[in-house]
């Protein structure tokens, strides 16, 4: 079935950038007794989209088989997100206010084998009782990772921190190794990262060969450039915006204001992420080939610092 825009936006021309950009704060707020949720996602019923721009983003996620949905979840003070299941997705979460996060994860109890579709036996306790038996360490760290406290990986324009699978576990702590292996043994899991780009810094153009990428702006402001199959888009991003880069898309992110740009990034792979950065591409490709690709003289590429 072909998706049509909501009636009030019919005939409105949509800029190409909305294939890659979603203004999440403008989306519909879904309230529940304990809080509220907003979504950047594909919807089967196009009438559920708030705008033609939101529709364009949802169609892009689906067209590129991203297997990704992004949402923000607000749980009110002493509120509860009731126990639930997702039948067609794994879920990863990032706590913007992480205090107490691991203590909450420790309260999870192992389900019985026959509880894949039934309510858990301890449902009443989960909802009404705030004190639970503490789970063992090896169980906790399959589902929880201290990303904020993890190793920093600097680059000329900023810093990465990763919650990911690594083929070579050398140097990982026991808890990091448990989480890494947990990601890899389940199908369709994600790689998560935080990216801090210093004021006026640049995350250089690059590609991901084995993953789609989604990002959420936590603080700061920036500019994004995307090139994919004849579509080129450059646009500004701010707090609350969601960005999407299909697999193989050349893209860059730049900080354009006085404060650092901080993003949460998710990649659609539970394997080790495969990335080619433009600097490595230029250094690894012969000068005469670069000259032919970019219609330049060979001597110009020989001036690049190695």
Q: Domain boundaries in the chain?
A: 99-112+119-143
Global confidence as pTM? 0.81
Categorize the per-residue pLDDT at 115 as very low, low, confident or very high, splitting at 50, 70 and 90. very low
pLDDT digits (tens, 9 = 90+) for 215-245: 999 999 999 999 888 888 999 999 999 999 9
What CA–CA distance (Å, rounded) separates 219 from 194?
A: 12
Residue 1: partners with Cβ closer than 8 Å, 6 or more residues away: none
DSSP string over 75-127: E-TT--------SS-------SS-TTHHHHHTT--PPPTT-SSSPPTTHHHHH
Q: What are the phi and psi torsion angles at 251 (to 5°)?
A: -155, 160
Q: Per-residue pLDDT averaged across 25-33, rounded?
A: 93
pLDDT mean across residues, the chain: 84
The pLDDT assigned to 145 comes to 92
If we measure between CA atoms, which residue out of 267, 262, 159, 261 comes closest to residue 208? 267
pLDDT the model gives residue 287: 74
Q: Stretch 275-280: mean pLDDT, rounded?
A: 82
Q: How confident is the model at residue 1 (pLDDT cuts 50, 70, 90)?
A: very low
Q: Is the pLDDT of residue 6 over 80?
A: no
What is the percentage of the chain residues whose pLDDT exceeds 70? 78
The predicted pLDDT at position 131 comes to 57
Which residues, listed in sequence order, are joined to residue 75 by a DSSP beta bridge? 35
Predicted pLDDT at 286: 74
pLDDT at 121 over 70: no
Question: Can you tell me whether residue 303 is helix, strand or coil?
Answer: coil
Mean pLDDT of 249-274: 95
pLDDT at site 137: 80
Q: How high is the pLDDT of residue 111?
A: 47
Query: 226 burial class (0-12, 13-18, 19+ CB within 10 angstroms)?
Result: buried
| Per-residue pLDDT, 52 | 96
Q: How far is CA 70 from CA 36, 92, 268, in A?
A: 14, 10, 12
Closest CA to 42 of 62, 63, 70: 62
Q: What's the confidence (pLDDT) of residue 304?
A: 62
Query: What pLDDT does residue 136 have?
Result: 83
Report which secondary-structure segment, H or E, holds 266: strand 261-267
pLDDT at 201 over 90: yes
Q: What's the count of helices (H) and strands (E) in the chain, helices before strands?
A: 8, 15
Q: Which of 227, 223, 220 is nearest to 203 (CA)?
A: 223
**What percent of the chain has a predicted confidence (pLDDT) above 90?**
56
Chain centroid to Cα 150, Å, comes to 18
> Regarding predicted confidence, which is higher, 302 or 135?
135
pLDDT level of residue 21 (50, 70, 90 thresholds): very high
Look at residue 117 in the predicted model and tell me its pLDDT: 46
Q: Among 61-75, 115-129, 270-284, which range has the highest average pLDDT?
A: 61-75
Contact 38, 257 (CB under 8 A): no
């Amino acid at each position: 079935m072909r998706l049509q825009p909501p009636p009030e936006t019919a005939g409105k021309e949509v800029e190409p950038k909305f294939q890659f950009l979603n203004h999440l704060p403008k989306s519909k707020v879904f309230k529940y007794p304990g809080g509220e949720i907003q979504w950047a996602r594909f919807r089967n019923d196009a009438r559920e989209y708030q705008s033609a721009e939101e529709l364009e983003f949802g169609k892009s996620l689906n067209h590129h088989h991203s297997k990704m949905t992004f949402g923000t979840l607000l749980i009110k003070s002493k509120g509860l997100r009731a126990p639930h299941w997702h039948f067609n997705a794994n879920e990863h979460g990032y706590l913007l206010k992480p205090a107490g996060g691991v203590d909450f994860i420790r309260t999870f109890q192992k389900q019985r084998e026959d509880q894949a579709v039934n309510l858990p036996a301890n449902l009443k306790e989960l909802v009404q009782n705030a004190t639970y038996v503490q789970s063992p360490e090896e169980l906790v760290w399959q589902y929880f990772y201290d990303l904020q406290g993890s190793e920093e990986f600097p680059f000329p324009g900023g810093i990465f921190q990763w919650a990911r699978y690594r083929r070579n576990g050398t140097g990982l702590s026991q808890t990091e190794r448990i989480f890494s292996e947990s990601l890899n043994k389940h199908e369709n899991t994600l790689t998560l990262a935080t990216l801090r780009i210093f004021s006026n810094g640049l995350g250089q153009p690059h590609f991901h060969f084995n993953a789609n990428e989604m990002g959420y702006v936590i603080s700061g402001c920036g500019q994004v450039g995307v090139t994919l199959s004849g579509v080129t888009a450059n646009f500004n991003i701010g707090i609350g915006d969601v960005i999407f880069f299909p697999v193989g898309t050349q893209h860059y992110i730049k900080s354009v204001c006085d404060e650092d740009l901080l993003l949460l990034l998710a990649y659609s792979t539970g394997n080790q992420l495969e990335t080619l950065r433009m600097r490595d591409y230029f250094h690894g490709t012969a000068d005469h080939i670069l000259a032919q690709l970019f219609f330049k003289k060979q001597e110009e590429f020989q001036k690049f610092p190695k």
